[in-house]
A and B are shown apart, each in its own frame.
Chain A
Amino acid sequence: MMRPIGSIAFVAMLLALVFVPWLAPPALIQFGTTTLLLATLAQSWNIIGGYAGYASFGNSVFYGIGGYGTAIAMVQFGQPFGVGILVGAVLGVIFALLLGLPVLRLRGHYFAIATLALAEAMTGVVSNLDIAGRNIGLVLPLRKGDAFFYELSLGLLALATLTVFWISRSRFGFGLIAIREDEDAAGVMGVNTTLYKALAFLLAGFFSALAGGIHAYWITFIDPVSAFDITLNVMMIIMAIFGGAGTIFGPLVGAILLASISELLATEITGMASLFFGLVIVVAVVFMPRGLTDLTRRFPGLGWRYFRENLRLHRL
């Protein structure tokens, strides 16, 4: 639920973020763009993983398809970026439907494993497509100025977050939550589980594909290995869960915090950075498995008992 304080904070933060490009140095704008895109990915994962409870490892596929759709439309057909990103988004949605209908029949770990295989399969497929530049990739037209991409990413993140806000208080969202909590009971209570899961997957695919399109145009290059990188999918899951999956702001906070920590570690201690980053995640998952949102909600009442209870739940 979004309390008034939450929405005010959201709007204030959004306004503050809009002006960053005028004030900040280029490096910060670039870091900001990356973080906003990651937050968008975490937020779109939140729809299928956080609300519907389907831990998808296939979202990076939509990201890659969005990037490739944009690149192919711009490079091979000489279309402007606006058309390109639209092509990417449409392709992402179509893929979400085509892939979703079979794999969403699987539950739990089986779903996760099936989606994990998708990314590998896509790398193989795209590496052999002439129109996608085979395994060399495609070089997109250059557009100077990071501010454009920053604002675009910010707008996309705002749109994704508003969508999640709507989901959280709609009949659709309650259907998704019911599926997450107990799919059989949801069906018996009248939730069209197949349709709802497919719609959630489709929404996740739509936003991920848009993020992929922006990223490809920003970087002006796309190749199969980086487009369908599975670590990106792992990142979005960690960010969403760290902040609080199934909440409106959790994935945002998780993405911003983890991206900042990762960046700080990378500049301060370079070589050992990923080790410490891994440590941060392990500690977070052990002490606050339901994310920061749950921590802020229940820590004031429970105090240190909150962490003890979580430890007990793990049976450590």
Chain B
Amino acid sequence: MQTILAVDRLTKRFGGLVAVDDVSFDLFEGEILGLIGPNGAGKTTVVSLISGTITPSTGKVLFQGAPIAHLPAFRRSRLGIGRTFQLMKPFPGLNVLDNVAVGALFGTGGGKSQLREAREDAAKWLAFVGLGHRERQRADELGGPDRKRLELAKALAMNPRLLLLDEVMAGLHHGEIDEVVSVIRKVQSRGITVLLIEHVMKAIQSLSDRVLVLHHGTKIAEGAPQAVLNDPKVVDAYLGTRRV
């Protein structure tokens, strides 16, 4: 299997707090890697370090063999890294279609140059995530679940090779989760590699090829989903150690 992303001894300190502590892992072309861990484990920080909204204190990130840890975010996105935000960042003043068109106008390789083409592309991705009927609405008028879909469509319109999904299912009910799970499967079948941060274990189990667990910024387990979720260290991290 070809490695698309290699994270090597990545560390991020915020003042005295070590948010990510010496974390290394590989991501293989075409796989879905689940990234889990209790709140505050450093999952979102890892995604931000890969996407470039923050830069690491030490350590390396290689994307398709090239070091990217100190590139500005827009360069990484042009190389093919797309992400969603856990705290959703729609462009509130734009309608839903144009929100996604921004992704198509920029994104991998610099994106489309014509607004008309970008809007056509955007409409396609909105249909893909099941938001086609909301094209003309302002982004800030959407409800929670639709905002999650919009985040996904924006990232997909960038035509990424690697997609970082930060809790796209939080706050969704069962039926909606199943929909998003099937969308992510379709994404994978297009050959896009996915790093999936999620608290919804059902989704992690059914989607992930492998799972990686962070706790207090360090990696405590990595491997096949079932084995990892039964690992005593992982159970302790989530439930706490039994004190007798």
| Partner-B contacts on A (CB < 8 A) | 169-171, 174-175, 177-178, 180-182, 184-194, 246
Q: Are A191 and B91 in contact (CB under 8 A)?
A: no
Q: Are B77 and A181 in contact (CB under 8 A)?
A: no
What are 6 sample pairs from A and B whose C-beta atoms fall under 8 A apart?
A171-B113, A175-B105, A188-B82, A188-B85, A189-B77, A192-B72
Q: Are A188 and B115 in contact (CB under 8 A)?
A: no
CA distance A191 to B110 in the complex (A): 9
Residue in B52, B94, B102, B115 whose CB lies within 8 Å of A169: B115
Q: Are B93 and A181 in contact (CB under 8 A)?
A: yes
CA distance A186 to B89 in the complex (A): 9
- Mostly, the A contact residues are helix
Q: Which B residues lie within 8 Å of A182 (CB)?
A: 89-91
Nearest first, the 8 closest Cβ-Cβ pairs linking A and B are: A190-B106, A181-B91, A190-B77, A185-B89, A187-B73, A182-B89, A190-B107, A171-B105
B residues 145-175 in Cβ contact with A at 8 Å:
154, 158
**Nearest Cβ on chain A to B174's Cβ, whole angstroms:** 29
Given contacts A171-B115, A174-B115, A181-B93, 14 further A-B contacts (CB under 8 A): A171-B112, A171-B114, A177-B93, A177-B94, A181-B92, A184-B89, A187-B72, A188-B53, A188-B73, A189-B74, A189-B102, A189-B158, A193-B74, A246-B93
B residues 87-125 in Cβ contact with A at 8 Å:
89-94, 98, 101-103, 105-108, 110-115, 118
Known: A174-B102, A190-B74. A185 touches B107 (CB 8 A): no
- Check if B78 is an interface residue, CB within 8 A of chain A: yes
CA distance A171 to B89 in the complex (A): 20
**Nearest Cβ on chain A to B114's Cβ, whole angstroms:** 8
Q: Which A residues lie within 8 Å of B215 (CB)?
A: none
Q: Are B78 and A190 in contact (CB under 8 A)?
A: yes
Q: Are B106 and A185 in contact (CB under 8 A)?
A: no
* Residue of A180, A192, A193 ringed by the most chain B CB atoms within 10 A: A192
Q: Which A residues lie within 8 Å of B98 (CB)?
A: 174
CA distance A73 to B52 in the complex (A): 47
CA distance A3 to B79 in the complex (A): 36
Q: Are A190 and B101 in contact (CB under 8 A)?
A: no
* Residue of A169, A184, A190, A193 ringed by the most chain B CB atoms within 10 A: A190
Known: A185-B85, A188-B53. A170 touches B115 (CB 8 A): yes
**Nearest Cβ on chain A to B96's Cβ, whole angstroms:** 13
CA distance A70 to B50 in the complex (A): 50
- Check if B45 is an interface residue, CB within 8 A of chain A: no
- Check if B11 is an interface residue, CB within 8 A of chain A: no
Chain A residue at minimum C-beta to C-beta distance from B89: A185
Residue in A181, A189, A194 whose CB lies within 8 Å of B103: A189
CA distance A262 to B91 in the complex (A): 36
- Check if B51 is an interface residue, CB within 8 A of chain A: yes
Q: Which B residues lie within 8 Å of A189 (CB)?
A: 74, 77, 82, 102-103, 106-107, 154, 158
Residue in B74, B103, B108, B114 whose CB lies within 8 Å of A192: B74
**Nearest Cβ on chain A to B196's Cβ, whole angstroms:** 17
Q: Are A187 and B52 in contact (CB under 8 A)?
A: yes
Q: Are B91 and A178 in contact (CB under 8 A)?
A: yes
CA distance A180 to B111 in the complex (A): 20
- Check if B83 is an interface residue, CB within 8 A of chain A: yes
CA distance A193 to B74 in the complex (A): 8
Q: Are A190 and B158 in contact (CB under 8 A)?
A: yes
Known: A182-B91, A185-B89. A175 touches B115 (CB 8 A): no
**Nearest Cβ on chain B to A48's Cβ, whole angstroms:** 16
CA distance A246 to B73 in the complex (A): 25
**Nearest Cβ on chain B to A125's Cβ, whole angstroms:** 33
Residue in A170, A178, A184, A194 whose CB lies within 8 Å of B102: A178
Residue in B90, B91, B111 whose CB lies within 8 Å of A177: B91
Q: Which A residues lie within 8 Å of B82 (CB)?
A: 188-189
Chain A residue at minimum C-beta to C-beta distance from B79: A190
CA distance A262 to B121 in the complex (A): 47
Known: A185-B89, A187-B53. A174 touches B74 (CB 8 A): no
Q: Are A188 and B52 in contact (CB under 8 A)?
A: yes
Q: Which A residues lie within 8 Å of B53 (CB)?
A: 184, 187-188
Chain B residue at minimum C-beta to C-beta distance from A184: B53
Q: Are B74 and A187 in contact (CB under 8 A)?
A: yes
Q: Which A residues lie within 8 Å of B106 (CB)?
A: 171, 175, 178, 189-191
CA distance A314 to B154 in the complex (A): 31
CA distance A188 to B164 in the complex (A): 11
